[in-house]
Amino acid sequence: MSIYKEIKDKIEKNFPSLPQNQRKIAEYFIDNFDKVPFLTVHQISESTEASVASIVRFAQRVGFSGFSEMRIAITDSLQTKLKHKQAFPLFDKRKANGDILTSVANIDIKNINDTLSLIEREKFNEGIDLILKSKRIFTAGLGISYLLAEILAYQLTQVSLDSSVLKHTHTVFHEQILYMNKSDMLIAFSFPPYSIETVDAAKFAKRKGIKVISITNKESSPITFHSLLSLTVNSENMLFTNSFAAISVLINAMATACALKIKSRAKNIMQESGQIMKNQKLVIG
């Protein structure tokens, strides 16, 4: 387990019992993990509006002797990350001047590169195993997150998994979760502005003993504290909405990883589905 995941797990475990000023410190550490090695305790104190003593107590609460030891541990954990080069090169920025298409593409390429760096492969594989062990998979989200949830449910169905999206029509998420049980799973998409209903749905599902995987934009987003496992995706955009390029990569990777682990079963379903489509075309023709 990486130091980062270790710290995150400890923060999540202790978060409900943290005083309000230490909750703000916890969120700051998670959101600025890469910057911590270059900051002094006084700079963090200024950014979080918390006292130096509070920051030291926070470090001790998550298992370190003090801030200095915690900063050294974070620095060490980032060494391997810094060695990784971008998987996809950006387009020449000089040629992108005034070219919206190239500018947007550069942002999405950066989102994908950052996401590849953010998601630990061990955590990704653990998520796939949890999906495959679940009897039924339900996906949820509001706004653009609903469309993404629908795509994931469709792709998982295509590889033979019993999957469906929670509808947001005459019923709310809570009512549909009532019919789920501990052998099921909820995969929730939560991006800014974070929907209270989606977060509450994850919280309710967790309380019922249902496994929750969240797909979100940062490790300290509200839904992560109610998730068994969270996958962080960069979704920066030129507009006020979230870009879903990197999210789409993750969705496709999840469905593909599931299909590879249940290869023969997934192949049979795809062949049968293809035959049904072929027969429908013959009837229409």
Domain-located, residue 99: no
Q: Provide mean pLDDT across the span 14-40.
A: 83
Last residue of one domain, picked from the residues 31, 61, 83: 83
- The pLDDT assigned to 110 comes to 86
Same domain, 65 and 179: no
Q: Which of 167, 173, 168, 165 is nearest to 204 (CA)?
A: 173
> What pLDDT is attached to residue 125?
94
127 contacts 254 by C-beta, under 8 angstroms? yes
Is the pTM higher than 0.75? The answer reads no
The answer to whether residues 186 and 140 touch, using CB atoms and an 8 Å cutoff, is yes
Residues 128 and 225 in one domain: yes
As for how many domains the chain has, the answer is 2
Mean pLDDT of the chain: 84
As a whole-number percent, the residues of the chain with pLDDT over 70 amount to 84
Q: How many CA atoms lie within 13 A of 161 on its CB side?
A: 33
Same domain as 242, residue 128: yes
For the segment 232-285, what is each residue's pLDDT rounded down to a tens digit? 999 888 776 788 899 999 999 999 999 988 877 767 766 766 666 666 665 555
H helices of the chain, where?
A: 3-14, 20-31, 41-48, 52-61, 67-83, 100-118, 121-133, 144-158, 173-177, 196-207, 245-261, 263-284
Per-residue confidence (pLDDT) for residue 53, from 0 to 100? 92
CATH number for 218: 3.40.50.10490
Q: 116-128: per-residue pLDDT in tens?
A: 888 888 899 999 9
Domain harbouring 43, CATH code: 1.10.10.10
Same structural domain, 125 and 258: yes
Q: How confident is the model at residue 170 (pLDDT cuts 50, 70, 90)?
A: low
pLDDT in tens, 39-82: 889 999 999 899 999 999 998 888 888 888 888 888 777 665 55
